Protein backbone atom coordinates (compact mmCIF):
# COMPACT_ATOMS: atom_id res chain seq x y z
CA UNK A 1 0.00 0.00 0.00
CA UNK A 2 1.39 3.40 -0.93
CA UNK A 3 1.62 6.50 1.23
CA UNK A 4 -0.98 8.19 -0.96
CA UNK A 5 -3.43 5.29 -0.47
CA UNK A 6 -2.95 5.47 3.31
CA UNK A 7 -3.45 9.24 3.21
CA UNK A 8 -6.71 8.81 1.28
CA UNK A 9 -7.84 6.15 3.76
CA UNK A 10 -7.02 8.58 6.59
CA UNK A 11 -8.96 11.44 4.99
CA UNK A 12 -11.94 9.17 4.28
CA UNK A 13 -11.96 7.89 7.86
CA UNK A 14 -11.68 11.46 9.19
CA UNK A 15 -14.72 12.49 7.14
CA UNK A 16 -16.69 9.41 8.23
CA UNK A 17 -15.66 9.95 11.86
CA UNK A 18 -16.89 13.54 11.71
CA UNK A 19 -20.17 12.58 10.07
CA UNK A 20 -20.82 9.83 12.60
CA UNK A 21 -19.97 12.11 15.52
CA UNK A 22 -22.18 14.87 14.15
CA UNK A 23 -25.06 12.43 13.61
CA UNK A 24 -24.72 10.98 17.11
CA UNK A 25 -24.57 14.51 18.53
CA UNK A 26 -27.81 15.47 16.80
CA UNK A 27 -29.44 12.26 18.02
CA UNK A 28 -28.18 12.97 21.55
CA UNK A 29 -29.75 16.44 21.47
CA UNK A 30 -33.04 14.92 20.31
CA UNK A 31 -32.81 12.10 22.89
CA UNK A 32 -33.31 9.74 19.95
CA UNK A 33 -33.55 5.99 20.52
CA UNK A 34 -31.44 5.63 17.35
CA UNK A 35 -28.38 6.13 19.58
CA UNK A 36 -29.04 2.70 21.08
CA UNK A 37 -28.77 0.82 17.78
CA UNK A 38 -26.00 -1.77 17.74
CA UNK A 39 -24.25 -0.39 14.64
CA UNK A 40 -24.11 3.09 16.22
CA UNK A 41 -22.11 1.64 19.09
CA UNK A 42 -19.72 -0.33 16.86
CA UNK A 43 -19.10 1.46 13.54
CA UNK A 44 -17.67 4.72 14.98
CA UNK A 45 -15.06 2.73 16.94
CA UNK A 46 -14.05 0.77 13.84
CA UNK A 47 -13.74 3.98 11.79
CA UNK A 48 -11.77 5.73 14.54
CA UNK A 49 -9.44 2.74 14.88
CA UNK A 50 -8.73 2.83 11.12
CA UNK A 51 -8.25 6.62 11.37
CA UNK A 52 -5.68 6.25 14.14
CA UNK A 53 -3.92 3.30 12.46
CA UNK A 54 -3.59 5.18 9.17
CA UNK A 55 -2.26 8.22 11.06
CA UNK A 56 0.40 6.09 12.74
CA UNK A 57 1.42 4.54 9.42
CA UNK A 58 1.79 8.01 7.87
CA UNK A 59 3.80 9.24 10.86
CA UNK A 60 6.28 6.39 10.59
CA UNK A 61 6.49 6.35 6.80
CA UNK A 62 7.03 10.12 6.61
CA UNK A 63 9.34 10.23 9.65
CA UNK A 64 7.44 13.28 10.91
CA UNK A 65 6.71 12.86 14.60
CA UNK A 66 4.70 14.69 17.26
CA UNK A 67 6.91 16.63 19.68
CA UNK A 68 9.34 17.09 16.78
CA UNK A 69 6.96 18.67 14.27
CA UNK A 70 4.90 21.46 15.87
CA UNK A 71 1.89 20.90 13.64
CA UNK A 72 1.69 17.19 14.54
CA UNK A 73 2.03 18.06 18.21
CA UNK A 74 -0.86 20.51 17.85
CA UNK A 75 -2.96 17.84 16.09
CA UNK A 76 -2.23 15.29 18.81
CA UNK A 77 -3.12 17.67 21.65
CA UNK A 78 -6.25 18.76 19.80
CA UNK A 79 -7.17 15.11 19.20
CA UNK A 80 -6.98 14.41 22.93
CA UNK A 81 -9.19 17.45 23.60
CA UNK A 82 -11.63 16.28 20.90
CA UNK A 83 -11.89 12.82 22.45
CA UNK A 84 -12.51 14.24 25.93
CA UNK A 85 -15.10 16.71 24.65
CA UNK A 86 -16.75 14.00 22.55
CA UNK A 87 -17.16 11.68 25.52
CA UNK A 88 -18.66 14.51 27.55
CA UNK A 89 -21.00 15.37 24.69
CA UNK A 90 -22.19 11.83 24.01
CA UNK A 91 -21.93 10.06 27.35
CA UNK A 92 -20.59 11.83 30.40
CA UNK A 93 -22.28 15.23 30.35
CA UNK A 94 -24.77 15.37 33.21
CA UNK A 95 -27.13 17.90 31.62
CA UNK A 96 -28.18 18.62 28.06
CA UNK A 97 -26.60 22.08 28.35
CA UNK A 98 -23.25 20.55 29.29
CA UNK A 99 -23.54 18.02 26.47
CA UNK A 100 -24.45 20.71 23.95
CA UNK A 101 -21.51 22.89 25.04
CA UNK A 102 -19.11 19.95 24.78
CA UNK A 103 -20.58 18.97 21.40
CA UNK A 104 -20.08 22.47 19.97
CA UNK A 105 -16.58 22.68 21.44
CA UNK A 106 -15.71 19.27 19.96
CA UNK A 107 -16.89 20.44 16.53
CA UNK A 108 -14.68 23.53 16.83
CA UNK A 109 -11.69 21.39 17.84
CA UNK A 110 -12.32 19.08 14.90
CA UNK A 111 -12.30 22.11 12.56
CA UNK A 112 -8.99 23.18 14.12
CA UNK A 113 -7.51 19.71 13.53
CA UNK A 114 -8.53 19.86 9.85
CA UNK A 115 -7.07 23.39 9.54
CA UNK A 116 -3.76 22.24 11.01
CA UNK A 117 -3.73 19.17 8.76
CA UNK A 118 -4.29 21.29 5.65
CA UNK A 119 -1.90 24.13 6.49
CA UNK A 120 0.66 22.24 8.59
CA UNK A 121 0.64 25.28 10.85
CA UNK A 122 -0.44 25.01 14.51
Q: Total domain count for the chain?
A: 1
Is residue 31 over pLDDT 90? yes
Is residue 50 over pLDDT 90? yes
pLDDT of amino acid 12: 98
Query: Which residue range(s) make up the domain with 78?
Result: 3-119
Is residue 1 over pLDDT 90? no
Query: What does the pLDDT average to over 78-94?
Result: 97
Nearest partner of 78 among 46, 118, 122, judged by Cα = 122
pLDDT of amino acid 18: 97
Amino acid sequence: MSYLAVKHLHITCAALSFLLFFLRGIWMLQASPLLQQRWVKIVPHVVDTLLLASALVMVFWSAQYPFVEAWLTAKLIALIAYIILGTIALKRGKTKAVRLSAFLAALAVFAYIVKVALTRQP
